[in-house]
């Protein structure tokens, strides 16, 4: 079974990308597996402790002549790989050729995933950092940070600074990985997926080598549109919903000029590389 992973800075549209991928009959894309920090990371600590205890007992009880060898990196990787594959495949239908997971933070864990799955593909969705900031603030407001949209408030400053740091790190790490592994990373811009979902879906599924027939691409675009998923027209805002508004360039009406300029100044070079007008 072929494996892929979806990543992107938080609030960049990774959940939308997951839904698009999962709508294809030859693709199964689940979400928020967090396999590195929640499974392989803790497992590595367990194995490290096991190996340390084994070494002590071998020295103290068996005079350095062990019955068991320490768990090797290859053995660790085999266990981790088998677990992740079982999770990814648990929802896969009979037609599935690809299984994958969407976890935004995979942007920081690409090399770990690559060691476990050296043939895996990676899909990165990137969004204008000013829109990322607005989406992040919307989420923060939804969970009770009522001052987050007020310029000058500590909540506002924290959200802006976290957005800048997170966006720059994510975009830079994916770019470096893509340069080191040509042909294995496919990048989608949020605004392009919104403007022409059929064309972007065609590019996406061509990357995976599955059917990209026009009728299927149109069907997936319709099934995963903001209107189909939320029941609202793009632009009809519901502050209480995870799917808040569904439009690019929301920053133009939600951010004050100083905040928008501050983000552009701090993200300018990467924004230009990704064809976002700073």
Q: 206: domain CATH number? A: 3.40.50.300
pLDDT at site 57: 87
Is 27 domain-assigned? yes
The token duo for 94 is 């009979």
- For residue 278, being part of any structural domain is answered with no
Q: Decide if 206 is inside a domain.
A: yes
Task: Report the pLDDT value the prediction gives residue 145, as an integer from 0 to 100.
Answer: 87
**Alpha helices (H) in the chain, listed in sequence order:** 14-22, 35, 41-61, 73-89, 110-116, 129-142, 154-180, 190-195, 197-208, 214-223, 226-230, 251-254, 257-273
Quick one: pLDDT at residue 159?
94
Distance CA(170)–CA(168), nearest Å, equals 6
Residue at 210 is within a domain:
yes
Half-sphere exposure for 58 (CA within 13 Å, toward CB) = 13
In tens digits, what is the pLDDT along the chain, a chain of 278 residues? 999 999 999 999 999 999 999 999 999 999 999 999 999 999 999 999 999 999 998 888 887 787 889 999 999 999 999 999 999 999 999 999 999 999 999 999 999 999 999 999 999 999 999 999 999 999 898 888 899 989 989 999 999 999 999 999 999 999 999 999 999 999 999 999 999 999 999 999 999 999 999 999 999 999 999 888 766 676 665 565 555 566 788 899 999 999 999 999 999 999 999 999 76
The structural domain count of the chain equals: 1
pLDDT at position 243, please? 59
CA distance 42 to 27: 29
Q: Which residue bears the tokens 């920090």?
A: 37
Domain range for 226 is 2-273
pLDDT in tens, 221-256: 999 998 887 666 766 655 655 555 667 888 999 999
Residue 160 contacts residue 133 (beta carbons within 8 Å): yes
Residue 242 in any domain: the answer is yes
Give the number of other CB atoms < 10 A from CB of residue 270.
Answer: 18
Q: What is the pLDDT of residue 65?
A: 82
For residue 278, the model assigns a pLDDT of 60
As a whole number of angstroms, the distance between CA 38 and CA 35 comes to 5
Query: Cα 152 to the chain's mean position, in Å?
Result: 30
* In-domain check, residue 43: yes
Please give the C-alpha separations between residue 122 and each of 5, 86, 125, 270, in angstroms, as whole numbers: 5, 19, 10, 20
């Amino acid at each position: 079974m072929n494996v892929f992973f979806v990543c992107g800075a938080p609030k960049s549209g990774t959940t939308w990308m997951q839904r698009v991928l999962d709508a294809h009959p030859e693709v199964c894309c689940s979400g928020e597996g967090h396999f590195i920090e929640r499974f392989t990371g803790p497992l590595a600590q367990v194995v490290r402790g096991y190996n340390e205890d084994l070494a002590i007992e071998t020295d103290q009880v068996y005079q350095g002549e062990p019955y068991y060898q320490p768990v090797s990196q290859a053995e660790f990787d085999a266990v981790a790989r088998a677990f992740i594959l079982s999770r990814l495949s648990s929802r896969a239908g009979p037609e599935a050729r690809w299984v994958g997971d969407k976890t935004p933070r995979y942007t920081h864990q690409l090399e770990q995933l690559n060691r476990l799955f050296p043939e895996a593909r990676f899909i990165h969705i990137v969004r204008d950092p000013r829109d990322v900031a607005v989406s992040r603030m919307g989420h923060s407001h939804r969970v009770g940070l009522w001052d987050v949209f007020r310029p000058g408030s500590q909540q506002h400053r924290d959200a802006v600074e976290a957005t800048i740091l997170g966006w720059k790190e994510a975009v830079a790490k994916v770019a470096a990985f893509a340069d080191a592994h040509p042909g294995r990373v496919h990048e989608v811009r949020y605004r392009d997926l919104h403007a022409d979902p059929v064309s972007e879906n065609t590019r996406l599924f061509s990357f995976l080598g599955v059917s990209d027939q026009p009728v299927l691409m149109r069907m997936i675009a319709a099934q995963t549109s903001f209107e189909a998923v939320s029941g609202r027209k793009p632009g009809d805002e519901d502050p209480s919903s995870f799917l808040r508004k569904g439009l690019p360039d929301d920053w133009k009406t939600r951010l004050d000029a100083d905040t928008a300029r501050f983000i552009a100044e701090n993200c300018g070079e990467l924004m230009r590389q990704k064809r976002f007008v700073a």
